[in-house]
Amino acid sequence: MHILLIDNNDSFTRNLEHLLVSAIKGAEVVVEPYTRLPQLDLTAADLIVVSPGPGTPAEYPGYERVFESGKPVLGICLGMQIMNEHHGGETGRLPGCVHGKTDEIDWLGEQQTVARYHSLCVTKVGDGLEVMARNDQDVVMCLGSRDHRAIGYQFHPESFLTSNGGRFIRDAIAYLDLQ
């Protein structure tokens, strides 16, 4: 599987690359910086991953071509917020700031420990996106749409604090019907 990982200047990008390679058999990951987004050839990718990053979705214009490419997309943290805003959703300031903390979410009927590193959160869900997980403070932790071929995690599956990061990658692959 050819995976294009777009790096939004985040220190977790190489950890995410490593997790993708270890969780997906036969994965070949190409990491490209966000600054090259306008020139990237999206046609060869079986999956496009939008990385976490500092700042707000508004600081990363140009992702329309990714979401309108017809390619499956996995967004992580900022990547999920960018996906949500592309579909008309909104992002706001999280009450407090959560960096390097664990949280519990109900994931497909099981309690899972996930790592959170964010100060922004989804305040309005975009059109056609379904909330697949929230934490107990009602913060959206996962959004997805089979019709849009997109899924996003607010938490960081690539962090050592997420106890089952590979599972979240494999579940995203299954949700996007890439198996």
The DSSP string of 93-146 is EEEEEEEEEEEEEEETTEEEEEEEEEEEEEEEPPTT-EEEEE-TT--EEEEEET
Q: Which of 85, 86, 148, 158 is catalytic?
A: 158
Q: How far apart are CA 56 and CA 24, in angstroms?
A: 29
- 77, 86, 118, 142: which one is catalytic? 77
Task: Please tell me the predicted confidence (pLDDT) of residue 68.
Answer: 96
Rounded to 5°, angle at Cα 36 from 33 and 42: 100
Residue 156 annotated to the active site: yes
Task: Count the Cβ atoms, other than its own, within 10 Å of residue 28.
Answer: 12
Select which of 86, 118, 148, 156 is catalytic: 156
What does the pLDDT read at residue 96?
A: 84
Q: Which helix (H) or strand (E) holds 168?
A: helix 165-175
pLDDT recorded at residue 167: 97
**Residue 179, C-beta contacts closer than 8 angstroms, at least 6 positions apart:** 173
Active site residue 17: no
Q: Token match 């604090």: residue?
A: 161
Question: Rounded to an integer, what distance in angstroms lies between the CA atom of residue 29 and that of residue 62?
Answer: 21
Question: What local confidence, expressed as pLDDT, does residue 80 receive?
Answer: 98
Task: State how far the Cα of 100 lies from the Cα of 41, in Å rounded to an integer.
Answer: 34
Is 97 labeled as catalytic in the residue annotation?
A: no
pLDDT for 42: 97
Residue 153: its pLDDT value, please?
98
Backbone angles phi, psi at 75, to 5 degrees: -110, 135
Which residue ranges of the chain lie beneath pLDDT 70? none
